[in-house]
């Protein structure tokens, strides 16, 4: 039920496609200097740090 957004990736893995489900732990791309990570559940924003802890 979670929706995540990763922005500002320098490279995106060739297996990543729009709308495709990705398994936990999969490599989705490479990050250079910054990454924007956003999490929503049922259209409500969630603090991403809660997902990492």
Domain positions in the chain are 2-52
Average pLDDT over residues 3-28: 90
* Inter-residue contact 13 to 27 (CB < 8 Å): yes
Question: Is the full-model pTM beyond 0.75?
Answer: no
C-alpha–C-alpha distance, residues 21 and 31, integer Å: 20
Q: Would you state the structure tokens that stand for residue 47, as one six-digit string? A: 């603090």
Instruction: Report H helices in the chain.
Output: 48-52
In this predicted model, which residue has the larger pLDDT, 46 or 2? 46
Give percent of the chain with pLDDT exceeding 70.
100
């Amino acid at each position: 039920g979670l929706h995540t957004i990763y922005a500002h990736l320098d490279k995106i893995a060739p297996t990543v496609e729009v709308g495709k489900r990705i398994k936990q732990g999969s490599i989705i791309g490479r990050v250079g200097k910054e990454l924007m990570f956003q999490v929503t559940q049922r259209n409500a924003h969630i603090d991403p740090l809660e997902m990492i802890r």
